[in-house]
């Protein structure tokens, strides 16, 4: 098979896959289902909570940390989803990436608020975040698995998700510390 034929085969399969995802959403995840409303609440409620709870004096620092967690988890989520290690059978909308409500909103908001709490109260963010990551994976993750919002495949499990959470939060924290150092030097 030459390059053009292979490209066209990939293109056609992606078109077919897009149609199947749309059909699945229309049948099982549409606005008439609890899955849709749970996804919507997972976006709206954390954002409203963050707006009320964020330390306004440090909003850019905290938002930088949250943005970094969002970008990292979104990239990892995309990789895990495309490799079928991790799947979100019910997304907010079929045109949006799977799992966007968790990787773009819920996870970053939870850990932005934890970051804010630890830094404001001189608590060890390293320790609190490890505990938070395991609670997030085993608490929220287990709940999402039990109601079919998340499916794990190919040996993926909650321990691995916990460790990924830890890695994401630690990298975001280190990058935020570097960002703060750069700001002090400027």
Per-residue pLDDT at 26: 96
- pLDDT-derived band at 186 (thresholds 50, 70, 90) equals low
101 pLDDT exceeds 90? Answer: no
- pLDDT-derived band at 98 (thresholds 50, 70, 90) equals confident
The Cβ of residue 119 has, within 10 Å, a number of other Cβ atoms equal to 17
112 pLDDT exceeds 70? Answer: yes
DSSP helix, strand, coil percent of the chain (3-state; round to 5): 80, 0, 20
Per-residue pLDDT at 11: 96
Per-residue pLDDT at 184: 87
- Across 94-112, average pLDDT: 86
pTM of the model: 0.91
- Across 164-174, average pLDDT: 97
Per-residue pLDDT at 155: 97
**Cα torsion for 27, 150, 76, 180, to the nearest 10°?**
110
Judged by DSSP in three states, 124 sits in coil
143 pLDDT exceeds 70? Answer: yes
Per-residue pLDDT at 99: 77
Per-residue pLDDT at 54: 97
The gap between the terminal CA atoms of the chain, to the nearest Å, is 56
- Rounded to an integer, what distance in angstroms lies between the CA atom of residue 158 and that of residue 134? 8
């Amino acid at each position: 098979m030459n390059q053009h034929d292979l490209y066209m085969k990939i293109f056609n399969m992606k078109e077919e896959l897009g149609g199947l995802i749309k059909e699945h959403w229309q049948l099982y995840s549409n606005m008439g289902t609890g899955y849709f409303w749970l996804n919507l609440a997972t976006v709206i409620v954390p954002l409203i909570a963050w707006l009320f709870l964020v330390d306004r004096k440090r909003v850019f620092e905290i938002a930088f940390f949250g943005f970094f967690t969002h970008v990292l988890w979104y990239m990892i989520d995309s990789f895990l989803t495309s490799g079928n290690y991790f799947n979100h059978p019910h997304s907010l909308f079929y045109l949006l990436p799977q799992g966007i409500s968790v990787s773009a909103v819920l996870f970053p908001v939870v850990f932005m608020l934890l970051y804010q709490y630890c830094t404001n109260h001189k608590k060890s963010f390293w320790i609190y975040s490890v505990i938070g990551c395991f609670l997030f994976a085993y608490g929220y993750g287990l709940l999402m698995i039990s109601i079919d919002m998340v499916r794990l495949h190919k040996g993926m499990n909650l321990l691995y998700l916990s460790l990924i959470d830890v890695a994401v939060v630690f990298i975001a924290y280190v990058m935020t510390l570097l960002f703060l150092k750069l700001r002090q030097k400027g």
